[in-house]
Structure 1
């Protein structure tokens, strides 16, 4: 076998060329500890560098490392690095994620296929199904479970005093009371108060069913931000549209979780295996709920103690905050613009709601 060539790999010339110097410059840039090798951590650092538009999922980094690390040392030496950049099984994927740096020297010649091909068979794809691969049971998804437990305990405490209609001692402290708006905690804590067992059970089932899957991908703190954003938006919107209405229940947060699923479908459309089906399901649920509310109020003229404004505001907040804080597995330019629009719009609406509650005193008299 000729010197400088290994079986099943590309030829590496012994005499340095302009191309070798080019790759050496890249190699040295990301060999952070200057040991002449690129580790798994350093490889991931290349891909997740702020110089690039995209992030590469961990499972794809693992596959790239296993294919490029010919001697199974756990590191890439310079020869393996150059082979990786020229390897037909890796060049499309890896080149896709370092495109900005490479194309600053080598002009872009068109879009890169997102599926790596070898011997007419697909090795792996990092689009459809990538989102599903992000589901993880560790750390455990306990945020929605803990909130649900707190809601059950507080409801049982009031029930022990013979009050299940949001008039018990806990409810009196936590319920949103339009006459006690100066007690600012009520704009959030009303989510812990429920009117009857059915009201409690419905909210518990929906928030667990929708919240736990979100936590498994996006982690608890992101889901908590979405949930609380929906709760706060629900009470602020209700205070402005129905200034004399009391508010109880976690429906604002629940509808935020519904809309958060729509947000993550929008931001991870290419990475989801059944994105269109999931989107249609959530849109159908929202349409049925809104349609039922409009029909009951304007055609049947029913007077119901249901805070539909809180539902709608919670959903809007969940969509906007979901776009802002939930994980986006592959960032695109239009998604960055959408992110900024969602963040600015959410904070603008919340600021209007807060200022109106503080200064628009005649509205609440």
Structure 2
């Protein structure tokens, strides 16, 4: 044991030993990272690896939350969180209405649809981008719908339609690199046409519960335009910047219009009339 600057040095803390330990730890760290990379590379292509990679974790978590809410939420809580035109200044309702569903069939349909569409997107675009499109699509969908009709709105279908149409943006940006692009294009087109026909028949026949086609429509537009803004392009092209500005411009334009209409509705529509029709100018 030596004395240095008035302090006793133990063998475990001498400069030479510390240096050797540092080199040893660095080597161990690099070895662990290399081994982890080798295991990941070895697992690629195996069915369980591909299955885990393709699971839409973000939207699955949201779906689980919606299911638990439907099971345990009280009717008073659902009323507090659903979107009501007369309470449009309670801003949390633009998000929380997506937790509230009419019944089990309504919930199951939305959960299945959003998980399918998210699975196609999360592989290429990542979970955070997809979750952002889903949430903003739900908010924009109800904001637009509330400018056109004075009905209660519940359900996450606007977010689901945002994911459906976001697949169009993904195809436009990455058409050269996406696998099974022809089948995916045909599937998306078929789903869109089927839903348009279903909404027309449902609205025309005035079946209950009423479908908020406006929320579907504006949620879908959000998916396309924000997809062009937020999604990454796997292979850089000269069209990336123009598409970015087109998406950003159109989305900003119609959201600005919704905000103006909302201000006018609040300003001009009497409280006893807001449940039946809107007054836009006064």
The reply on whether 1:288 has 2:203 as its aligned counterpart is no
Unmatched runs of 5 consecutive residues or more in structure 2: 1-49
Q: State the shift of 1:277 in Å.
A: 2.2
CA distance in 1, matches of 2:199, 2:144: 17
Structure 1 residues 139 and 308, CA gap change in structure 2 (3 angstroms) = closer
Which of 324, 330, 339 is the equivalent residue of 2:244?
Answer: 339
CA RMSD of aligned residues (A): 2.2
CA distance in 2, matches of 1:212, 1:189: 23
Show the counterpart of 1:195.
102
Structure 1 residues 140 and 205, CA gap change in structure 2 (3 angstroms) = closer
CA distance in 1, matches of 2:54, 2:180: 25
CA distance in 1, matches of 2:93, 2:101: 14
CA distance in 1, matches of 2:142, 2:89: 13
Describe the superposition over 1:177-213 as per-residue Cα deviations: whole angstroms up to 9, x where unpaired: 1111110111111100000010011111111122133
Alignment of 1:169-180 (within 5 A): 169-180=76-87
Say whether the 8 Å CA contact 1:238–1:245 is kept in structure 2.
no
Show the counterpart of 1:275.
181
Say whether the 8 Å CA contact 2:59–2:118 is kept in structure 1.
yes
Structure 1 residues 359 and 222, CA gap change in structure 2 (3 angstroms) = same
Show the counterpart of 1:245.
151
Alignment of 1:121-140 (within 5 A): 137=52
Say whether the 8 Å CA contact 1:257–1:318 is kept in structure 2.
yes
Secondary structure (helix, strand or coil) at the match of 1:333 reads coil
Secondary structure (helix, strand or coil) at the match of 1:269 reads coil
CA distance in 2, matches of 1:286, 1:140: 23
Say whether the 8 Å CA contact 1:136–1:217 is kept in structure 2.
no
Which of 155, 171, 174 is the equivalent residue of 1:265?
Answer: 171
The reply on whether 1:308 has 2:213 as its aligned counterpart is yes
Which of 151, 171, 174 is the equivalent residue of 2:66?
Answer: 151
Show the counterpart of 2:120.
213
TM value normalised by structure 1: 0.57
Alignment of 1:1-365 (within 5 A): 137=52, 141-158=56-73, 161=74, 168-242=75-149, 244-298=150-204, 300=205, 302=207, 304-360=209-265, 361-363=267-269, 364=274
CA distance in 2, matches of 1:246, 1:253: 17
Describe the superposition over 1:19-45 as per-residue Cα deviations: whole angstroms up to 9, x where unpaired: xxxxxxxxxxxxxxxxxxxxxxxxxxx
Say whether the 8 Å CA contact 2:140–2:218 is kept in structure 1.
yes
Say whether the 8 Å CA contact 1:297–1:303 is kept in structure 2.
no
Structure richer in helix, relative to its length: 2
Count of residue pairs brought into register by the alignment: 222
Q: State the shift of 1:137 in Å.
A: 4.5
Q: Is the deviation greater in 136-145 or in 322-331?
A: 136-145
Show the counterpart of 2:31.
none
Say whether the 8 Å CA contact 2:54–2:122 is kept in structure 1.
no
CA distance in 1, matches of 2:195, 2:137: 17
Secondary structure (helix, strand or coil) at the match of 2:146 reads helix
Structure 1 residues 294 and 325, CA gap change in structure 2 (3 angstroms) = same
Say whether the 8 Å CA contact 1:141–1:219 is kept in structure 2.
no
Describe the superposition over 1:322-351 as per-residue Cα deviations: whole angstroms up to 9, x where unpaired: 111112111222232122111111022112
Structure 1 residues 314 and 142, CA gap change in structure 2 (3 angstroms) = same
Unmatched runs of 5 consecutive residues or more in structure 1: 1-134, 162-167
Displaced runs of 4 or more, over 3 A:
135-141, 295-298, 300-304
Show the counterpart of 2:27.
none
Say whether the 8 Å CA contact 2:203–2:210 is kept in structure 1.
no
Q: State the shift of 1:140 in Å.
A: 6.9
